[in-house]
């Protein structure tokens, strides 16, 4: 790290100095132009203002990016006014102190993040977006010019959102991602990215969860509205986690009105699990919600929802997968295993369906062992007889896990489970040979 930092001791360009007065003069000129009776009626004047405000927003971090070598930073920006040891995301770094931004450089001399300390002027991106919208309203033929500015601004905002999130400045990060979406929404050709709204809502939910009282309610309501806008636009993230975070945005407001917000929270999770039945996070949220809140419903309702969906679509792999997880949560192991066997029937070459069939057979057997060990009234002979029956259950898992191993021979957990199973059942016919095979593989993995 010290060797990399020596670059700062060499002759270089002047230290970063954003000419604030010059930039403000450009903005004042752009503001004056749109107020001018003749110039203000032209879309091009508003485009120019949007560009000026966008450039002013980007300027302090224009040359900064993750993975950029410190030598390139020095060449383009100049020397920092100060440099000292610090920490970034739990890792030692050098902090390069510039006028507008602190830049964090790792041991390899690469930028890992930054913290912008001030802006040239308040509300720069908001003003740029307003100016672009006005220009497009006045003359849609300006779309290509506006789109170029919008994408530059959106990219800078999302990059800044990432950086602010790294610094734990969640509310500001959320605002950046929301503004990135707003910038992309000005003209049709930029195709606003719903991921920006999702990120904004998620970060605002996290921020609101750290607050209390009316401040928390305000933040969570904002998150709720962002998620609803994203869903209304047709967006969902790949795994459906938006419904889980929407649930939390509602659930955090239950003290406002328990009847209203608990119902909304439940609806978010129920909708999510119906659309994304494999989402373990939503399912776990539902189970915890039903357990923590009296009167919101019976966990068995989940099985009814999924059974109803399966009646309409009986070969839906994801629904059977979700059914299995629900029954496991309810500790109904037979129905759980039935579900994953159906998954394996639908997709015999799928690793997950074979692995989880074997895995939950083991869970069923482990549960039986727990019940057996809690029964203190059995004789030795009775205990051994019951234990032998449980071993037969354990043995049912072996062919499923072996099929999973054939599909993915590098999966360490599958090998470990087979090693443990075969050791337990080594007295059964043909199992010792399997144990020797999987034990050797298990030792190689270790």
Confidence at residue 42, expressed as pLDDT on a 0 to 100 scale: 97
Give the helix/strand (H/E) hosting 431.
Answer: helix 431-445
Confidence at residue 296, expressed as pLDDT on a 0 to 100 scale: 81
Confidence at residue 78, expressed as pLDDT on a 0 to 100 scale: 84
Judged by phi (left if over 0) then psi (alpha if -120 to 50, else beta), residue 89 lies in left
Between 312 and 156, where is the model more confident?
Answer: 156
Residue 11 has pLDDT above 50, yes or no: no
Instruction: Find how far residue 22's CA is from the centre of its chain.
Output: 40
Confidence at residue 14, expressed as pLDDT on a 0 to 100 scale: 46
Confidence at residue 167, expressed as pLDDT on a 0 to 100 scale: 94
Residue 260 neighbours by CB distance under 10 Å: 12
359-386: b (≥16 Cβ within 10 Å) or e = bbbbbbbeebbeeeeeeeeeeeeeeeeb
Q: Is 37 exposed, middle or buried (CB count within 10 Å of its CB: 0-12, 13-18, 19+)?
A: exposed
**For helices 280-292 and 241-251, what crossing angle results, to 10°?**
20
List of residues 6+ apart from 16 with CB closer than 8 A: 77, 78, 80, 98, 99, 100
Predicted confidence band at 16 (pLDDT cuts at 50, 70, 90)? Answer: low
Confidence at residue 9, expressed as pLDDT on a 0 to 100 scale: 47
Q: Rounded to whole angstroms, how far apart are CA atoms 107 and 128? A: 38
| 401 three-class SS | helix
| 102 three-class SS | strand
Predicted confidence band at 76 (pLDDT cuts at 50, 70, 90)? Answer: confident
Three-state SS string over 203-260 comes to HHHHHHHCCCHHHHHHHHHHHHHHHHHHHHCCCCCCCCHHHHHHHHHHHCCCCCCHHH
Give the helix/strand (H/E) hosting 438.
Answer: helix 431-445
Give the DSSP letter string of 35-49. HSTTGGG-HHHHHHH
Q: Rounded to whole angstroms, how far apart are CA atoms 26 and 20? A: 10
Between 232 and 291, where is the model more confident?
Answer: 232
Confidence at residue 310, expressed as pLDDT on a 0 to 100 scale: 86
DSSP β-bridge partners for residue 115: 102
Give the helix/strand (H/E) hosting 112.
Answer: strand 111-116
Residue 111 has pLDDT above 90, yes or no: yes
Q: Quick check: 161 and 173 in contact, CB under 8 A? A: yes
Q: Quick check: 273 and 265 in contact, CB under 8 A? A: no
- Average pLDDT for 287-306: 78
Predicted confidence band at 319 (pLDDT cuts at 50, 70, 90)? Answer: confident
- Average pLDDT for 351-364: 97
Confidence at residue 298, expressed as pLDDT on a 0 to 100 scale: 75
Confidence at residue 5, expressed as pLDDT on a 0 to 100 scale: 52
Indicate the average pLDDT of the chain. Answer: 92
List of residues 6+ apart from 226 with CB closer than 8 A: 178, 197, 200, 201, 204
Predicted confidence band at 281 (pLDDT cuts at 50, 70, 90)? Answer: confident
Confidence at residue 308, expressed as pLDDT on a 0 to 100 scale: 81
DSSP state, 59? Answer: G
Phi, psi (deg, nearest 5) at residue 428: -75, 155
- Average pLDDT for 37-58: 97
Confidence at residue 77, expressed as pLDDT on a 0 to 100 scale: 84
Predicted confidence band at 279 (pLDDT cuts at 50, 70, 90)? Answer: confident
Q: Quick check: 357 and 344 in contact, CB under 8 A? A: yes
Per-residue pLDDT tens for 359-417? 999 999 999 999 999 998 899 999 999 999 999 999 999 999 999 999 999 999 999 99
- Average pLDDT for 75-80: 86
Confidence at residue 17, expressed as pLDDT on a 0 to 100 scale: 63
Q: Quick check: 235 and 257 in contact, CB under 8 A? A: no
Per-residue pLDDT tens for 186-201? 999 999 999 999 999 9
**% of the chain with per-residue pLDDT over 90:** 78
Q: According to the per-residue pLDDT averaged within each range, which of 67-81, 163-177, 307-321 is highest?
A: 163-177
């Amino acid at each position: 790290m010290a060797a990399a930092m020596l670059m700062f001791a060499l002759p270089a360009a002047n230290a970063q100095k954003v000419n604030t007065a010059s930039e403000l003069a450009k903005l004042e000129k752009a503001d004056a132009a749109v107020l001018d009776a003749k110039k203000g009626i032209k879309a091009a004047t508003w485009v120019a203002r949007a560009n000026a405000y966008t450039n002013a927003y980007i300027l302090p971090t224009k040359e900064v990016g993750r993975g950029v070598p410190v030598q390139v930073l020095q060449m383009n920006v100049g020397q920092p006014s100060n440099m000292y040891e610090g920490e970034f995301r739990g890792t030692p770094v050098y902090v390069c102190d510039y006028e507008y931004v602190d830049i964090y450089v790792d041991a390899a001399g690469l930028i890992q993040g930054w913290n912008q300390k001030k802006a040239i002027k308040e509300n720069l991106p908001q003003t740029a977006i307003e100016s672009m919208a006005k220009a497009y309203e006045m003359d849609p033929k300006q779309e290509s010019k506006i789109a170029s500015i919008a994408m530059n601004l959106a990219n800078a905002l999302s990059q800044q959102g990432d950086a602010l999130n790294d610094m734990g400045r969640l509310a500001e990060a959320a605002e950046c991602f929301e503004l990135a979406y707003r910038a992309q929404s000005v003209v049709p050709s930029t195709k606003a990215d719903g991921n920006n709204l999702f990120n904004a809502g998620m970060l605002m939910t996290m921020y609101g969860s750290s607050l209390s009282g009316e401040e928390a309610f305000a933040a969570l309501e904002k998150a709720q509205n962002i998620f609803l806008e994203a869903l209304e636009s047709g967006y969902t993230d790949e795994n459906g986690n938006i419904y889980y975070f929407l649930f939390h945005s509602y659930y955090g407001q239950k003290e406002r009105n328990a009847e209203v917000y608990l119902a909304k929270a439940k609806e978010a999770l129920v909708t999510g699990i119906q659309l994304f039945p494999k989402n373990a996070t939503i399912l776990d949220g539902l189970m915890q919600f039903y357990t923590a809140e009296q009167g919101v419903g019976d966990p068995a309702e989940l099985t009814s929802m999924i059974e109803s969906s399966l009646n309409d679509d009986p070969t839906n792999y994801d629904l059977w997968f979700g059914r299995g997880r629900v029954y496991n949560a309810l500790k109904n192991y037979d129905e759980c295993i039935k579900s994953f066997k159906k998954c394996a029937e639908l997709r015999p070459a799928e690793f997950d369906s074979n692995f989880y069939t074997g895995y939950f057979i083991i869970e069923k057997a482990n549960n039986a062992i727990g019940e057996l060990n809690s029964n203190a009234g059995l004789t030795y002979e009775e205990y051994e007889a019951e234990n032998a029956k449980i071993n037969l259950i354990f043995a049912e898992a072996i062919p499923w896990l072996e099929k999973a191993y054939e599909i993915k021979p590098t999966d360490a957990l599958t090998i470990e489970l087979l090693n443990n199973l075969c050791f337990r059942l080594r007295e059964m016919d043909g199992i010792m040979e399997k144990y020797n095979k999987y034990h050797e593989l298990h030792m190689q993995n270790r």
